[in-house]
Chains A and B, each alone.
Chain A
Amino acid sequence: GAGVSQSPSNKVTEKGKDVELRCDPISGHTALYWYRQRLGQGLEFLIYFQGNSAPDKSGLPSDRFSAERTGESVSTLTIQRTQQEDSAVYLCASSLYRGSYEQYFGPGTRLTVT
């Protein structure tokens, strides 16, 4: 079946612009996660959605970052007033439900802020 998809695959933006990244989870997966992978660093957890519960935003790097999810489908990660330190690969993962713990990742969006 179809895996997790993300768009765009690459995004180059100027410092100060807003960007929106999209994630389509595996059909039927109720949990969705966003991670950031900076060059030479491990994956960093950002935010998690489960069903209709309000997400815990404490893992987001700053108030310029926000995320939304429509029901149990598409999620968007928005970065406002981008900075050069936001350059990274942003990865989305989904799991069947939180208890299964196994997360399946999309290909990522490579964001470059110039």
Chain B
Amino acid sequence: EDQVTQSPEALRLQEGESSSLNCSYTVSGLRGLFWYRQDPGKGPEFLFTLYSAGEEKEKERLKATLTKKESFLHITAPKPEDSATYLCAVYGGGADGLTFGKGTHLIIQP
């Protein structure tokens, strides 16, 4: 059974204070690891797909990296508008749908 664990559950940062969110996973036959952003009352918004260990992707202040056991979402010099819940999900060889972690609730204080 595919499993995803995200840490920390919540993180409060000052504006400009860089940090990283962790996503540990176990999956049989990884076909993709996904990061989403979810704002309150809205559906998840797609950010990145990573397919193989060593892969990295960037978008504005966000950078996602992947190893064989975990992924990190690095946030550089965050702004208050980066406050959201960040979700990690995997797509395994035996699954029809994504397996999600519970998310990291990120708050950036001005």
Query: Which A residues have a C-beta under 8 Å from some C-beta of B?
Result: 4, 33, 35, 40-46, 48, 56, 59, 91, 93, 101-108
A45 with B96, Cβ < 8 A, contacts A105-B45, A108-B43 known:
yes
B53 at the interface (CB under 8 A from A): no
Contacts of A56 in B (CB 8 A): 96
Query: In the bound complex, how far is the Cα of B87 from the Cα of A107, in angstroms?
Result: 15
Query: In the bound complex, how far is the Cα of B50 from the Cα of A101, in angstroms?
Result: 11
Contacting pair B97 A48 (CB below 8 A): yes
Query: Which B residues have a C-beta under 8 Å from some C-beta of A?
Result: 4, 31-32, 34, 36, 41-46, 49, 87, 89, 91, 95-103
Nearest to A106 among chain B residues (CB) is B43
Contacts of A41 in B (CB 8 A): 102
Contacting pair A42 B4 (CB below 8 A): yes
Contacts of B103 in A (CB 8 A): 42
Contacts of A104 in B (CB 8 A): 46
Closest 10 CB pairs of A and B: A45-B97, A105-B43, A42-B100, A48-B96, A43-B100, A101-B32, A42-B102, A105-B44, A107-B43, A108-B43
Contacts of B95 in A (CB 8 A): 45
For the complex with contacts A45-B99, A107-B43, A108-B43, 10 further pairs of A-B residues with Cβ separation under 8 Å are A33-B98, A35-B97, A42-B102, A43-B44, A43-B100, A91-B44, A101-B34, A101-B49, A103-B98, A105-B36
A43 with B45, Cβ < 8 A, contacts A33-B97, A101-B32 known:
no
Nearest to B96 among chain A residues (CB) is A48
Query: In the bound complex, how far is the Cα of B87 from the Cα of A43, in angstroms?
Result: 9
Contacts of B32 in A (CB 8 A): 101-102
